[in-house]
Structure 1
């Protein structure tokens, strides 16, 4: 009699375990996508900013009419209507998967893309733009390519001031006995960043021009001096005037935007005394 009771208890436990496993499997199979999975049910970002929302997008899907931004995988939607003109930034910083982020105005089926970004900080995304009071902006957060979703951290906030750079070429340079020219200058940046500096020089030599090109990569922090030495391409540089043209490009990691400046100058080359 006792053995029958023990058997019945074990059988009951096994039955309950099977039912639980079946229920969990069914729950997983019919897991619902996030509430803002579709454009029509976009989560509304509210003021005051910043607005932060954290959701899991693993069960999100891509609608047939979702616009294109870096071949996005599962997408979710947000909207924001500012009460006044402002410069805003939306980002996915803190998310645990490779995201894409884009912003639009308009209506479903006729959306105008304002910005699209894949990677700004690591694998996360950021867009910045000037928003107009009363205009509704729609944000689509997706997974890069056909990748899966994950834990998304979506933020809308007032954007930091955009990065600005100012490029200056000094009016005096130098040349050495081998015919190389050295020009110098200063790059000013509104916040620390890395700058790609490149350009060309040419100097009249009778009926010909002696030419050269340069390029360098440097870290800018406030007012940063720069110097490049240019080897001639078809002759030797000498004392006298030389025409220099330069361009500087910088990437703002805070906003995901590029900033650039250019400068042209007549530089007087003087002997450096170096071999």
Structure 2
């Protein structure tokens, strides 16, 4: 009986190990799991598809993430790109089967993360210098240990452009606020990361009334759009008469931002409302 129980126990233990062994066998090692074996990206655009379920994370990921704050850096895999000329690159993994992000370093990543260029979820852009090699890690930012990674490397879009105008006539309301209008345009920028910011000033007697206005997001499709904003002051009330505005439009893309600027003297007409 003791021999039978021992045999049955060994058999049961073996059966329990089978799913674990099968799982381990299905997660094949990933060639570019480490920086030393980074996959070279030799031309743009390039799309790379690979199974990353066997990839791991390590202390280097943790050092880079100290300045990024991703929720997780699981199943990280590495790529490298040597820029043939000055310019910019965009890396995108939105077509992957899992949520993730990127680290980008100038040169091989240092153990303390000091040469980190940028990081972020799903899509990142970075400027390049001719002859410099950049290392890019793609990782899962959840508890999911990888999956089907589809990452595309492409040339960065042209830099953003923006313009802004302020109409020479505005409206002063009975509550002391003032409405301003104008036009703007922006292109090669993200709508949510683009805005209009401005200041309206008016001298009333010996007091200089100042109020701010803000508009976000913008429509950065290259067309000319109208805008309107209401300025409120915390040190007095705007009245009918002349005032001055200083307005900026900010249009930001993956790599940088463009700034539009205008100064305008505005005649505020008193509203009956």
The TM-score by the shorter chain falls in which range? 0.7 to 0.9
Structure 1, residues 208-245: CA drift from partner, whole Å, max 9, x if none?
12232322334424111111123443433223332323
* Aligned counterpart, 2:77: 76
Q: State how far apart, in whole Å, the 2-side matches of 1:79 and 1:264 are.
A: 43
Q: State how far apart, in whole Å, the 2-side matches of 1:185 and 1:83 are.
A: 43
The reply to whether residue 59 of structure 1 matches residue 54 of structure 2 is yes
Residues 109 and 21 of structure 1: is their aligned pair in 2 closer, same or farther, counting only changes over 3 Å?
A: same
Structure 1, residues 53-112: CA drift from partner, whole Å, max 9, x if none?
111222211122232243322210001113333322111120122211121122353661
Shift of 1:189: 0.7
Shift of 1:165: 2.0
Any conservation in 2 of the 1:70–1:144 contact (CA below 8 Å)?
no
* Aligned counterpart, 1:213: 212
Q: State how far apart, in whole Å, the 2-side matches of 1:56 and 1:86 are.
A: 30
Any conservation in 2 of the 1:188–1:224 contact (CA below 8 Å)?
yes
TM-score by length of 2: 0.77
Secondary structure of 1:107's aligned partner: coil
Structure 1 window deviating more from structure 2 (23-32 vs 152-161): it is: 23-32
TM-score by length of 1: 0.77
Structure 1 window deviating more from structure 2 (167-176 vs 51-60): it is: 167-176
* Aligned counterpart, 1:4: none
The reply to whether residue 105 of structure 1 matches residue 106 of structure 2 is yes
The reply to whether residue 239 of structure 1 matches residue 235 of structure 2 is no
Which has the larger Rg?
1
Q: State how far apart, in whole Å, the 1-side matches of 2:237 and 2:109 are.
A: 63
The reply to whether residue 117 of structure 1 matches residue 120 of structure 2 is yes
* Aligned counterpart, 2:151: 154
Any conservation in 1 of the 2:28–2:53 contact (CA below 8 Å)?
no
RMSD: 2.9
* Aligned counterpart, 2:184: 187
Shift of 1:146: 5.0
Any conservation in 1 of the 2:109–2:115 contact (CA below 8 Å)?
no
* Aligned counterpart, 1:126: 123
* Aligned counterpart, 2:92: 91
* Aligned counterpart, 2:4: none
Any conservation in 2 of the 1:101–1:126 contact (CA below 8 Å)?
yes
Q: State how far apart, in whole Å, the 2-side matches of 1:100 and 1:169 are.
A: 40
Secondary structure of 2:53's aligned partner: coil
Unaligned runs of 5+ in 2: 1-13
* Aligned counterpart, 1:173: 170
Residues 83 and 215 of structure 1: is their aligned pair in 2 closer, same or farther, counting only changes over 3 Å?
A: closer
Structure 1 window deviating more from structure 2 (191-200 vs 31-40): it is: 191-200
Between the two proteins, the alignment pairs up a number of residues equal to: 248
Any conservation in 1 of the 2:162–2:260 contact (CA below 8 Å)?
no
